[in-house]
């Protein structure tokens, strides 16, 4: 690796590190303020009776809560005619799925929603090894209402909202997003938050780790930033899924 940064004494390095640390602490304080504002957003009622296809038959949005009163839905890109799920969504889910057990302890359920048929979702989920609730929204308004699916005609016309503005850069009928729902003591469901595009980066732990190494995410020269991403079983150094791990 070619050295690009200044080479300094230990004392000079400590001085530079303390200057950066002050900025990092300010960033953390600003992030705390922002996340508080996310939680303080007003809620909107969910008036539609959304019904999905689950592994054991039809389920409702209410069913996705299980025994919890908060629900995170990841809008996973997996079109009806696709043979496998989106590699970038899979990258994110490799980080989020293992957290489901921890979130459940805080009263939060996690579910994935895609338009692909259940048979494809089940097969891909088995391949990836995610222990999460995954349902199909095919034939419903759910994906369209939450800005993550549009017909090809609508995309071509430019009459398509994504991330709360007209979508002019994504010529794709499937797009990623994450939505949050809450249920009150009377069982009424509310939409409390949604985030899309770069807003999803903060849920990817590998990005945070790559951001602190000298070469960062090393995405310069790629046709798009996540071009390097693979399904985790497709990397050249991918471990054997059946290999035992020492503890």
The SS3 assignment for 162 reads strand
pLDDT of 77 above 50: yes
Whole-structure pTM value: 0.91
Average pLDDT of the residues in 33-48: 98
The phi and psi torsions of 149 (rounded to 5 degrees) equal: -145, 135
- At what angle are helices 118-128 and 87-96 packed, to 10 degrees? 60
CATH number at residue 127: 3.40.30.10
Rounded-to-integer distance, Cα 99 and Cα 96, Å: 5
pLDDT at 238: 73
Token digits of residue 42: 């007003």
Is 95 within a domain?
yes
Is pLDDT at 169 greater than 70 in this prediction?
no
Q: What pLDDT does 240 receive? A: 61
Q: Which domain holds residue 76?
A: 44-203
Question: Which pLDDT does position 157 carry in this prediction?
Answer: 77
Task: Give the model's pLDDT for residue 21.
Answer: 98
User: Residue 228 domain-assigned?
Assistant: no
CA–CA gap between residue 199 and residue 177 (Å, rounded): 8
DSSP code, position 220: T
N residues, the chain = 247
Domain membership flag for residue 196 = yes
Residue 8 φ then ψ, to 5°: -130, 175
Which are the contacts of 64, defined by CB distance < 8 A and separation ≥ 6?
A: 52, 71, 73, 109, 111, 133, 135
Q: By percentage, how much of the chain surpasses pLDDT 90?
A: 84
- Answer for the pair 74, 112: CB distance below 8 angstroms, yes or no: yes
pLDDT at residue 247 in the model: 44
Query: How many domains are contained in the chain?
Result: 1
- Average pLDDT across the chain, whole number: 93
DSSP H or E segment with residue 223:
none
- Tell me, yes or no, whether 165 lies in a domain: yes
């Amino acid at each position: 690796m070619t050295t690009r940064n200044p080479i300094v004494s230990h004392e000079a390095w400590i001085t530079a590190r303390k200057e950066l640390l002050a900025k990092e602490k300010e960033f953390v304080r600003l992030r705390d303020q922002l996340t508080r504002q996310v939680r303080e957003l007003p809620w909107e009622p969910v008036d539609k009776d959304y019904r999905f296809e689950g592994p054991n038959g039809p389920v409702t949005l209410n069913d996705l809560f299980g025994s919890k009163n908060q629900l995170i839905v990841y809008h996973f890109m997996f079109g009806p005619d696709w043979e496998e799920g989106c590699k970038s969504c899979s990258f994110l889910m490799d980080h989020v799925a293992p957290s489901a057990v921890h979130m459940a302890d805080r009263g939060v359920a996690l579910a994935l929603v895609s338009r692909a048929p259940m048979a494809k979702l089940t097969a891909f989920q088995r391949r990836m090894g995610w222990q999460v609730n995954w349902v199909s929204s095919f034939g419903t308004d759910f994906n369209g209402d939450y800005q993550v699916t549009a017909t090809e005609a609508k995309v071509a016309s430019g009459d398509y909202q994504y991330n709360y503005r007209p979508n002019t850069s994504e010529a794709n009928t499937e797009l990623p997003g994450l939505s949050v729902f809450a249920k009150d003591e009377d069982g009424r469901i509310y939409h409390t938050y949604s985030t899309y595009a770069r807003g999803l980066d903060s849920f990817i732990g590998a990005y945070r780790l790559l951001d602190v190494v000298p070469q960062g995410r090393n995405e310069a020269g790629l046709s798009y930033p996540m071009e390097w991403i693979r399904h985790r079983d497709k990397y050249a150094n991918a471990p054997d899924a059946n290999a035992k791990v020492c503890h």
